Amino acid sequence: MNTSKTRFLTLVLCTLAFISSAHAGTAPTYHPAVSAGLVKLQNQVLWEQDADERLPQASLTKIMTALLVLEKYQPDAVVTISPEAAAAHPTKIGLHKGDRMRVADLLAATLIHSANDACHALADWHSGNEEKFVERMNERAKQLGLHDTHFANACGFDAEGHYSSAHDLAKLADLALQNKTFSRLVTKQKMVIRTVDGKRKFIFQTTNALIGKYDGAMGVKTGFTFKAGPCLVAISKRNNVRVMIVMLNARNRWPNAREMFDLAFQQAPRLREQRVASRVVSSESKSL
């Protein structure tokens, strides 16, 4: 064996030993009380549990609703609230039949407060009624390759044929976050909006207990129904390191979310070292 090949083989073995020793016995264990979930550091999945299982996703549904609205976005368009939208429950901002609202304000209420009356009004505005909007949601899911996702309503109510998976929700959230309006709204703690005539004011706060309370939290969406349980897609970013967690039926949602973020950020330096070592091996192999 010539000298260069010997040197390369030695480098590979040393690098693999480094990676193995850095990983062995030090990788944190994720043990959230969830039916399904995942943790992603940058684009690497650190942990997953039943991430392809089809489960009710509650108001995480509203990520798709917002995406469709933003793909046709007319922030100053005026929506007249229908009786069906005004009757939506249980989480709402209190819209009345006949109220006239800007699309931008309805979108804010939908994403920040998870308001079902605002969500239903957006579906009406986008497609004429909720039934047609749901058809568009399912068409978009197919286009995006979300094979384990199907919608039966616009806002996330429990229903037959209404489900998603942790993998699909992570993919959907990543796409939605590429939109500046979406990414800006999901970081807000509270907001005030008004009807177009200014006669009625709505004050609401985020449903995300991490925003403003966990270092680096940047959204994304909460959800809860009795069938789905507490659900969450959350993003946190520190020193250019981005972590996403997805949790479906998370019985201890907020403490588990904080713990999962903490563990992921702890792993970041080691994974960075592994990537550097891998690049060294790759560079050396090309030089032979």
Q: Is residue 91 part of a domain?
A: yes
For residue 183, indicate whether it is catalytic: no
Number of domains in the chain: 1
Instruction: Choose, from 35, 59, 127, 236, the residue flagged as catalytic.
Output: 59
Predicted confidence at residue 286, as pLDDT, reads 55
Sequence-separated (6 or more) residues with CB below 8 Å from residue 272 = none
Domain that holds residue 33: 28-283
Q: Is residue 23 part of a domain?
A: no
Instruction: Choose, from 62, 92, 188, 221, the residue flagged as catalytic.
Output: 62
Q: Based on the number of CB atoms within 10 Å of its own CB, is 259 exposed (0-12), middle (13-18) or buried (19 or more)?
A: middle
Q: Is residue 2 part of a domain?
A: no
* Helices within 24-152 (DSSP H only): 62-71, 83-86, 103-112, 116-127, 130-143
Rounded Cα distance, 252 and 221, in Å: 16
Q: Is residue 58 part of a domain?
A: yes
For residue 62, indicate whether it is catalytic: yes
Task: Please list the pLDDT of the chain residue by residue as tens digits (288 residues).
Answer: 555 555 544 444 444 444 444 444 455 789 999 999 999 999 899 999 999 999 999 999 999 999 999 999 999 999 999 999 999 999 999 999 999 999 999 999 999 999 999 999 999 999 999 999 999 999 999 999 999 999 999 999 999 999 999 999 999 999 999 999 999 999 999 999 999 999 999 999 999 999 999 999 999 999 999 999 999 999 999 999 999 999 999 999 999 999 999 999 999 887 765 554 444 445 555 555
Instruction: Choose, from 35, 82, 114, 127, the residue flagged as catalytic.
Output: 114
Q: Is residue 15 part of a domain?
A: no
Q: Is residue 5 part of a domain?
A: no
Q: Is residue 20 part of a domain?
A: no
Does residue 111 sit in helix, strand or coil?
A: helix
Q: Is residue 195 part of a domain?
A: yes
For residue 201, indicate whether it is catalytic: no
Would you give the distance in Å from CA 71 to the centre of its chain? 17
CATH (domain of 207): 3.40.710.10
Rounded Cα distance, 211 and 203, in Å: 17
Task: Read off the tokens for 273.
Answer: 């070292």
